[in-house]
């Protein structure tokens, strides 16, 4: 999920941001070891007491499965009482031999558990009626041990006991807390410490994933492989990703015009009034872009050719007004949206929200243990601004490529929010050498699954007919893509 607003100026709360950057520098200098008070105790057989306590035996309405699952809280700042909520699924087969994959949704301020785990790629998908969960035959834990975390604090079940923390959120603190979460999570689950580790996500996780990978890269260089906090990161996989403000915005408008979403006159007006290379935009530009977003009140921006949920005043159908702040013209906040599940129901998010607010479900998940004074929602209404966000993530992508990480970028080609056009513009801006140009890749029965461009150090994959949340509309193809990514193999270039 990628939330948006209309803003004529770059985010301004520089005083708070400056303090945050100073705190971040002090934390980095200190080494960011696991939070004090998180010493792991073990029970018989070497399993930590915390890990044993987090075991989820079964959820209400859950289909029977043979793999284990765990959920609970990991502290990332003891003095502030910051706790991130996670949900972890062991691989369906041979978990001790499979890699570990972390999935992050974006927003910023949206839940990886509500979207990623329960509506896209987790083993249990929400549905209407009884039972309330169904098994996902294309779950990504068929290929990897699968970890979801609600980040930053204030999202979903994650919380802080220091209310001022919510006003300091931004990219930097999110990466910092996510890193501390991982270090402490590996303390709780030491059996996965030496597994190959990958980070994946979609939308604003185009910021989260590369930034966390860079954080791990820099820390690993300082710590060395023998250090207890070394993380065995191998690569990243990001989809319909926010990468670069200029190209994201240019591609957003061009895609809408090319896909018959906006008129010639509005397209020409935006092109005349807006300069996407600039931080600040004119009133004329903002007015034109407002008219552009009006179109998406009647069709789904995130999946152009699928129906909207018709329920009124629900999590799937409501769209709150834009909030005029943020670091970019078409910025980071839009709380209302709907999703599409593997079985295709545009009202899936309603079922998820109802399910995760049930007391017996929260008890089974070890969630909401402090009785948070608000209901669980997909995207947090408490996060009302964002302190820092770079204009471009491309320099970090280059750094990860130079460090020889596996880097794949994919794009569902019916997404109007972070469209394939934006991603193609962004990748072109990297200036990488193309080693294999625009080529089809195939699923079974001689069907084209999409197209690939292989760059030196990066693989770009399109997924034909998928919207913003690729695993929802194209679950089989998304699992196939993941399997090839983890194996470091190109997708099939011919029918098989």
Q: Which residues are catalytic?
A: 203, 415, 468
**Can you tell me the distance from the alpha carbon of 378 to that of 356, in angstroms, rounded to the nearest whole number?**
10
Strands (E), 108-196: 124-126, 133-135, 145-150
The Cα–Cα gap between 467 and 412 comes to: 5
Nearest to 320 by CA among 335, 298, 310, 301: 335
Helix axes 420-430, 245-258, angle to 10 degrees: 140
**What are the residues facing 69 on neighbouring strands?**
56, 89
d(CA 178, CA 153): 10
The Cα–Cα gap between 117 and 367 comes to 15
d(CA 390, CA 396): 10
**CB burial of residue 60 (10 Å; 0-12, 13-18, 19+):** middle
Q: How many helices (H) and strands (E) does the chain have?
A: 13, 13
In angstroms, the CA 338 to CA 295 distance is 16
Long-range contacts of 340-343 (CB under 8 A, 24+ apart): 340/119, 340/303, 340/306, 340/467, 340/469, 340/472, 340/473, 341/119, 341/120, 341/125, 341/126, 341/127, 341/472, 342/125, 342/136, 342/137, 342/138, 342/471, 342/472, 342/475, 343/125, 343/127, 343/134
Burial class for 58, CB neighbours closer than 10 Å (0-12, 13-18, 19+)? exposed
Nearest Cα to Cα of residue 42 among 183, 187, 145: 187
d(CA 66, CA 85): 23
Alpha carbons within 13 angstroms on the beta-carbon side of residue 394 total 18
Peptide bond into 108 cis (omega under 30): yes
Spatial distance between the Cα atoms of 114 and 357, rounded to a whole number of angstroms: 11
Q: What tokens appear for 200 in the block? A: 């994946």
Burial of 44 per CB tally in 10 Å (0-12, 13-18, 19+): exposed
Q: Cα torsion at 277, 280, 285, 291 (round to 10°)? A: 100
Q: How far apart are CA 496 and CA 75, in angstroms?
A: 47
């Amino acid at each position: 999920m990628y939330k948006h607003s209309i803003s004529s100026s770059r985010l301004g709360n520089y005083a708070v941001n400056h303090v945050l950057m100073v705190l971040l520098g002090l934390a980095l200098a200190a080494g960011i070891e696991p939070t004090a008070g998180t010493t792991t105790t073990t029970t018989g057989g070497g399993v930590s007491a915390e890990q044993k306590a987090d075991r989820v035996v079964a959820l209400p309405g859950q289909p029977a499965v043979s793999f284990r699952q765990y959920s609970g809280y990991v502290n990332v700042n003891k003095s502030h009482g910051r706790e991130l909520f996670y949900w972890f699924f062991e691989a369906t087969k041979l978990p001790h031999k499979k890699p570990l994959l972390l999935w992050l949704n974006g927003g910023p301020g949206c839940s990886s558990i509500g979207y990623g785990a329960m509506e896209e790629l987790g083993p249990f998908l929400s549905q209407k009626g009884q039972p309330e969960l169904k098994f996902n035959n294309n779950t990504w834990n068929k290929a990897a041990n699968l970890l979801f975390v609600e980040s930053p604090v204030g999202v979903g079940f994650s919380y802080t006991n220091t209310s001022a923390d919510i006003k300091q959120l931004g990219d930097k603190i999110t990466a910092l807390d996510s890193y501390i979460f991982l270090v402490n999570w590996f303390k709780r689950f030491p059996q996965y410490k030496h597994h190959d580790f990958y980070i994946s996500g979609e939308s604003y996780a185009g910021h989260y994933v590369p930034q966390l990978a860079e954080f791990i890269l820099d820390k690993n260089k300082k710590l060395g492989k023998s250090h207890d906090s070394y993380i065995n990161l191998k690569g990243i996989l990001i989809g319909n990703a926010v990468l670069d403000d200029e190209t994201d915005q240019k591609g957003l408008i061009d895609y809408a015009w090319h896909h018959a979403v906006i008129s010639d006159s509005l397209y020409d007006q935006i092109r005349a009034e807006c300069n996407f290379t600039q931080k600040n935009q004119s009133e004329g530009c903002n007015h034109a872009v407002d008219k552009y977003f009006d179109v998406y009140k009647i069709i789904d921006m995130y999946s152009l050719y699928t129906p909207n949920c018709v329920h009124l005043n629900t999590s799937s159908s409501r769209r709150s007004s834009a909030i005029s702040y943020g670091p970019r013209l078409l910025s980071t906040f839009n709380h209302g949206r709907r999703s599409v599940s593997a079985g295709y129901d545009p009202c899936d998010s309603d079922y998820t929200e109802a399910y995760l607010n049930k007391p017996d479900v929260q008890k089974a998940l070890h969630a909401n243990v402090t009785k948070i004074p608000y209901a669980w929602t997909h995207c947090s209404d408490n996060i009302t601004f964002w302190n820092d966000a770079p204009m471009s993530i491309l320099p970090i992508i280059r750094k990860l490529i130079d460090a020889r990480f596996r880097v794949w970028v994919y794009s569902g080609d019916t997404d109007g929010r972070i469209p394939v056009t934006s991603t193609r513009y962004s990748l072109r801006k990297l200036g990488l050498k193309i080693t294999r140009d625009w080529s089809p890749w195939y699923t079974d029965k001689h069907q084209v699954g999409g197209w690939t461009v292989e760059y030196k150090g990066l693989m770009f994959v399109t997924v034909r007919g998928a919207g913003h949340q690729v695993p929802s509309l194209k679950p089989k193809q998304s699992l196939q893509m993941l399997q090839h990514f983890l194996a470091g193999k190109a997708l099939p270039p011919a029918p098989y």
